[in-house]
Amino acid sequence: MSVSTHQPKVRPFALIVAIFMIIELTPIFEVTMMYAAIPTLMGVFKADAATISWVVTIFLLVGAGTAAISGRLGDIYGRKRVLIILMVVSAAGSIISVVAGNLEGILIGRAFQGTSAGLFPLLIGLAREVAPARKVPLLISLTSGIGLIGGSVGALAAGILLQTSGWHSMFVVSAVLAVIAIGVALILPKSVVSVKEGGRLDLLGALVMAPAIAAILFGFTISRSQGASPVVVGLIVVGGLLFGFWVVWELRIKNPMFNLRLFRTRSLVLTLVATAFASIGILSAPALLTPILQQTPTTMPVGLGLTPTQAGLYGLISGTIAFILSPLAGRVAGRRGGKLVLAAGILLGVLGYASFLFSVHNLPLAIVGIVVGSVGTVFITVSVPIVIVENVAARDTSEAVALTFTVGRTIFSAIGTAVIGIVLASSTVPDTTAPTIQSWNAGIVLVIIAGAVAFAATIAIRKSTPMNQRGEVIEAIAQDEAFELSESPAVRVP
């Protein structure tokens, strides 16, 4: 292998952290603003919840496909370049939503915005280019941790905008955020990538992956309202068949769009399993269990009777605490390895949401459980990318993070949300949609079981050298040899 001796221009680490956090705030705000806007949009466009929910669903569908493809494209053509292209498309989506002024236009704009979901794996790959190896875990932890506090602040900000300026203002703000993110991204050093000689772009692999994921994700998304209908089953089966074909194709061709051969590494497979079950349980719980517990009236078997504003404030508090602790997770992962932090995060998540068994009418205990669960969540989201970074070569980072974490979390969170919703709906208080204590407990037990499987998979991950104990050059050479990468010259791209 020919390694370029030309190193990227050094930027102050604090500046790099600020740039990464600003960029990651763009997709975070685009996601959380719509949760706050759904009731308003239902009234404005005289549409039911099933119709309006498409403003979220279409974002997730496009986001899952984009995240899968963006990581690989970033590894091939340069992460900075692909990052900026995605943010330009996202900004265009916000502008389309504002100019159109109708639901159809908003849906088109939201589809464009969904491309911002591909930013995270690119940022994780860039982290290894622009930061010393010993500081990569801290950079990843801060970038991941901004999601919780950014999401909490974003939801409150969206609520204020809706009440004072109308729904158009949300898209104006999201467009401004995207433009600012593009501006700061230009400050990043040029990307250094390795390009395989004589390779062709795997267009079939790129085109099949996205619809396969979209079909599976959409099937589980609508299963909450349609159950096991022929449409739901058909979507999941067709998506599964497409996905199976895609796997076989990618393993057979010489230069695949997605290097699935990475999953011959036992640790990466176990990381995917841990991510999948953590997503089904711990990472899905806040979408249903937390709001139901907080906002259901106290007259129901489960409910604390909080207003949406009160619930949002408690969410902001828990998100802030989790964000403050995210650098701790990064430092521990840097010194002791990401596996330890991942295991701790899963245990905290299980403990936090298990407390919901006993806090159905106990506000203080519920708040403690939400905070502990939020800390567990941020530990998981911080540590999984670090575990991946520890176990793949630098040139494959974005691709591995996209497949294992971003896409895996999206798909299995959708599955987990659907399954938890079905469990809660299996037994409800007559003439209401409120769960009985039996179905509520069953939902919590599901989270606990999924967490136990995730913990077992984490424990089985092989111990790797923590990032703080690696030299950057030694790390690159050792990983290149360990993963038997084909020879490829280092190329600098903008």
DSSP 115-136: GGGGHHHHHHHHHHHHS-GGGH
Q: In CATH, which superfamily holds the domain spanning 11-188?
A: MFS general substrate transporter like domains (1.20.1250.20)
Average pLDDT for 441-469: 89
Instruction: For 167-222, write each residue's pLDDT tens digit.
Output: 889 999 999 999 999 999 998 887 655 444 445 667 788 788 778 877 887 787 77
At residue 185, the pLDDT reads: 92
At residue 401, the pLDDT reads: 83
At residue 49, the pLDDT reads: 59
At residue 376, the pLDDT reads: 95
pLDDT category of residue 132 using cuts at 50, 70 and 90: confident
Token representation of residue 161? 């905008």
At residue 145, the pLDDT reads: 75
Is the pLDDT at 244 greater than 50? The verdict is yes
Phi-psi region of 153 (alpha: psi -120 to 50; beta: other; left: phi over 0): alpha
Instruction: List, in order, residues 6 or more apart from 5 with CB less than 8 Å away.
Output: none
Mean pLDDT of the chain, nearest integer: 81
At residue 3, the pLDDT reads: 42
Average pLDDT for 126-135: 83
493: helix, strand or coil: strand
Is the pLDDT at 394 greater than 80? The verdict is no
> CB atoms < 10 A from the CB of 395, how many?
25
Which of residues 135 and 475 earns the better pLDDT score? 135
CATH 3.40.50.300 fits 260-483, yes or no: no
> What is the rounded distance in angstroms from the CA atom of residue 162 to the CA atom of residue 297?
25
Percent pLDDT > 90 in the chain is 30
Instruction: For 42-67, write each residue's pLDDT tens digit.
Output: 778 887 655 777 787 788 778 877 87
> What is the rounded distance in angstroms from the CA atom of residue 391 to the CA atom of residue 350?
26
Average pLDDT for 28-55: 76
At residue 343, the pLDDT reads: 96
483: helix, strand or coil: coil
At residue 48, the pLDDT reads: 63
Give the CA distances from residue 163 to residues 40, 43, 90, 307, in Å, rounded to whole numbers and listed in that order. Answer: 9, 13, 25, 16
Average pLDDT for 351-371: 94
Parts of the chain belonging to CATH 1.20.1250.20: 11-188, 260-483
> What is the rounded distance in angstroms from the CA atom of residue 381 to the CA atom of residue 341?
10
Yes or no: say if 96 and 105 are a contact pair by the CB < 8 Å rule: yes
At residue 477, the pLDDT reads: 31
Dmax over Cα atoms in the chain, in whole Å? 71
Average pLDDT for 440-455: 96
At residue 200, the pLDDT reads: 64
Token representation of residue 289? 């269990």
Average pLDDT for 352-379: 93
> CB atoms < 10 A from the CB of 298, how many?
12
Yes or no: say if 235 and 216 are a contact pair by the CB < 8 Å rule: yes
Q: Which contiguous run of DSSP H or E holds residue 199? A: none
3-state DSSP helix/strand/coil percent for the chain, to nearest 5?
Answer: 80, 0, 20
Which of residues 146 and 236 earns the better pLDDT score? 236
Is the pLDDT at 353 greater than 80? The verdict is yes
Is the pLDDT at 332 greater than 70? The verdict is yes
Yes or no: say if 312 and 156 are a contact pair by the CB < 8 Å rule: yes
CA trace torsion 9, 14, 19, 21 (10° rounding): 140
Give the CA distances from residue 246 to residues 167, 209, 239, in Å, rounded to whole numbers and listed in that order. Answer: 40, 6, 10
Of 295, 300, 289, give the one whose Cα is nearest residue 440: 289
Yes or no: say if 119 and 26 are a contact pair by the CB < 8 Å rule: yes
CA trace torsion 209, 109, 289, 286 (10° rounding): 80
198: helix, strand or coil: coil
> What is the rounded distance in angstroms from the CA atom of residue 137 to the CA atom of residue 330?
5
428: helix, strand or coil: strand
Of 235, 190, 278, 259, give the one whose Cα is nearest residue 457: 278
**Type of residue found at 65:** G
pLDDT category of residue 110 using cuts at 50, 70 and 90: very high
Yes or no: say if 420 and 441 are a contact pair by the CB < 8 Å rule: no
